[in-house]
Amino acid sequence: MKKKQLLSIIGIILVLALSFFGFGEDASHPTEPNVTTSPALIDTQPSPSLDEDGHYNSKEDVALYIHLYGHLPENYITKDEARELGWEGGSVEVYAPGYAIGGLSVGEPAEKMYEMLDYTTPLMPKHKPRYLMGVGTPTNIIEAVARGVDFFDCVMPARNARHGRLFTWQGAINMKNAKYERDQTPIDPECDCPVCRRYSRAYVRHLFVAEEMLAMRLAVMHNLYFYNKLMEKIREALDEGRFDAFRREYSEKLARRI
C-alpha cells in the first residue's frame, strides 16, 4: 500500500473516532452570524447552567447580543435608512438581552471612536445594556460610560502589565524606568491592592530587570485590581449622581504618563 493511501486511511479513522467520541462541533449550538454570544451578565437574567461536558443546557442560558460594527463618519447610516432596515423608529429596537458595539479601537484616533459612540448609542434601547468590545484605556472607559456604554472587555490591563506599564490614580507609569531603581514607595500610594501593600516600585522594577516571572504576575495583579476599582468608582459616581465631576477629575488625569 502506498504511503499517501495509508495516511488517508489513518486520517479518515481519526475523524470518525473524534466524531464518535463527541469532539466535533456541537450541532445543537450553531454559531449565529454577526451576533456576539456571551454568558448572561445582568441581574435580570438567570445564571447560565452547564451540563457535565461544559455545554449550555438551553438557549435561555445564553444571552445573544446584537452586534453593531462601528464605522467612521463617511459610512454612517441615517435614521431613515435605519427604518428601512427594520429598526423601529430609526433605532435598533430588536429583541435581544443587550447590544454590542464592535469594529472600534483598532487603531483609529480616540476622538473618532467617541464620535462613533455619539452617533451609535442614541440608536440603542436605553433599557438594555450596551457592550463596547475591546476597549480600552481607563480614559476610554470613562468617556464611553459618559456616552451610555455599560460594560467592556479588553486585554490592555494584563498585556500592558506584562510589559511594565502600570496604571495608577495619577496616570500610567513604566516600571522599567531607571528613576524607580531606589523608589521605596508603592506602585500607587492610593491603591490598596495586595501588591501595593507589600512591595515597592524598586522591588518590582528589580524583578522586571532580572526578567523574573514574578514581575509580570505582580504587575498583572495590580492592573486588574486597578481596573476593578475604576469600575467600582464609576458605579458609585453614577449611583450618587456625581459622574460628571468624576469624569472631570479623572478622564484626562488617567491618560497621563508619569
User: pLDDT tens across 81-117, in order?
Assistant: 655 555 554 455 555 677 788 777 777 888 988 988 8
DSSP H helical segments within the chain, as ranges?
Answer: 3-20, 79-84, 110-120, 138-146, 156-162, 194-198, 201-209, 213-239, 243-250
Average pLDDT rounded to a whole number, residues 229-255: 97
Q: CB–CB of 113/133 below 8 Å?
A: no
Would you state the cell numbers that stand for residue 69, as one nine-digit string? 460594527
Examine the pLDDT at 215 and tell me if it is beyond 50: yes
Give 201-209 contacts, CB < 8 A, sequence gap 24+. 201/173, 201/175, 204/175, 204/180, 205/175, 205/176, 205/177, 205/180, 205/181, 208/164, 208/175, 208/176, 209/176
Could you report the per-residue pLDDT of 28-77, keeping only the tens digit for each? Answer: 333 333 333 333 333 334 444 555 655 545 545 445 555 555 444 445 55
Rounded Cα distance, 122 and 231, in Å = 22
CATH T-level fold of 31-154: Rossmann fold (3.40.50)
Q: CB–CB of 172/163 below 8 Å?
A: no
Choice among 114-118, 171-175, 190-194, 227-231 with the minimum mean pLDDT: 114-118
Rounded Cα distance, 91 and 76, in Å = 13
Domain boundaries, the chain: 31-154, 157-239
